[in-house]
Chains A and B, each alone.
Chain A
Amino acid sequence: MSLKKQDEMDHNAWLKKQDLTVIETAFLTTLIWLDKRLRIVDYLELLETMYYRANLQMPKSHTEQYDLDNKFWYWYPLYSLGSLSIIAYLVAAITGALLGFYYSPSTAGAAAQGDPTAAYDSLVLIMTDVQFGFMLRSIHKWAAQFMTAAVFLHMLRVYFTGSYKEPREVNWVLGVVLIALTLFFGFSGYVLPWKQLSFWAAQIGVEMALATPIVGEWAAQLVFGGFTLGQATLVRMYILHVFVLPFVVTGLIALHVGIVWVQGIAEPH
């Protein structure tokens, strides 16, 4: 006989009595362990209450609502483009974080014009010396391409199915902002290797900014760090690419998806 107390709330004893799989046991053990310390159940109940208070419903599937069961399955891929762009974004985020371990945003080290800079050398290091570095960079680049493509196609799907109509105008505008930010994401990433095409693409960017009256010079200073390209440009593009844009875009994506959650998906029909 055990000396430990045994009462109704002995969760571990209860757990042992159950016939559970390994996964279920591990999950419950973790949950109980955390709950004893943090009272998670209270917060879950709170969340549940808020969920019902807000009168949120699980959206009915469109095919169920309109009884279209076997007629519209071929539209489904078009309706997954939004989530595919998020998946590609996550892949790019993970590989990007790994690439960030090795990349250095610096134009130092070039003895003469056209010599490799530290940024360029760090990419050469990634592609030649780092284990799986070449693959990592390829995946990062291609994930970005897939994300951009998915975002464009997502916009076309929304346009041609009229999904932007009332009450979803705000989310459409938010989507336009997200597309612009995605393009800027791609542009800032394109500049980072500091190869010839990066440099001259950034040069065109600066010239476009400078051609704008009134705000042009200010914008060039802010985004490119001056009127001629150099160290400041690279660092600004780097910070935009790895710090500012990830936070802003992730937040806006969360808002975008949150609005879809609240409003429900525009029905295909």
Chain B
Amino acid sequence: MALTKTLQSRSSDLSKPESQVEFLSSGIFSDGKAPIFRNLLDDHSSFPLKPNTLEVLQVNLGYMCNQTCKHCHVDAGPDRTEIMTKQTMQSCIDVIKSNNIETIDLTGGAPEMNPNFKWFVEHARPYVNEIIVRSNLTIIEANKTYNELPVFIAKNKIRLVSSLPFYNADKTDRQRGKGVFDKSINALRKLNNLGYGKPESGLTIDLVYNPTGAFLPAPQLSLEKEFKKVLKEEFDICFNQLFCITNLPISRFLDYLIQTENYEDYMFKLIESFNPEALDGVMCKSTLSVGWNGTLYDCDFNQMLDLKIDPNSPQSISSFNIDTLKNRVINTSQHCFGCTAGAGSSCQGSLV
């Protein structure tokens, strides 16, 4: 199993957001073989895409991660140094305090690796109904520094959303690195012991299935049934829901598609599976993404492509203005086909 390195450490051209955006606008999209996303929105009377009520502030605490997964849309890894400061975290807290935002969704990298992670959670907790942490599970097992994390997250009633692309080591380790499956199972056992995933505990852990290759996810409910059965029978592990998330053609997954000559077929798959019904629930309508340096984006994927928010809106969390933001036009590109394909895809799984 070859070790994955970040695109940045490989000095890959695709590590630059502008190169990715250019790539996603060329080839089949510039020679007319495939429609561009914006035109398809237009065909379905959905252009421009506008937001609904803001429900979730998704905050990226930094790109550092203890893992280097093959499909990572962030190009995260141990060598990434971008990290959110306490000052920017405070700006996020100020915004949720004064705008009745129900949920903050902490992501990364491994958000727990931000040295101010606990400070942020404790200071944000009184002002939101729900804190989601997108935890890779293995961070709990990474070293002593993180051994107390499960108790901390349970105490703060954090909802965990954790990747486990499959219920066996073969597929999981091929996507996420050697030994990740076993560590994830150990972490899940610790979390189950604290009540996570158990009925009436009030502690929720949802798992995330990402396809381990150039294909779309199977139906969410069908996979969830299978995951629950196998994880219970073979590992005595329980969890709440399974979210199926389509891999978007950006960053390391885009690199994988290109290297394996799957790019065009994958894009056609996304385009031909375009489901207008999924448009109503796309996460950019109810979520705002905050970059590690406080820059605002329509979603975490746009953040990685550095596709800035509507220029008529405030660009940073420090100048947040809900009235201007609710009238913005959502910025899209061809990667958005990933969120509207088949049953649709969001950070909370399928949409229809």
Mutual binders A and B: no
Binding site for A on B (CB under 8 A): none
Q: Which A residues contact B (CB, under 8 angstroms)?
A: none
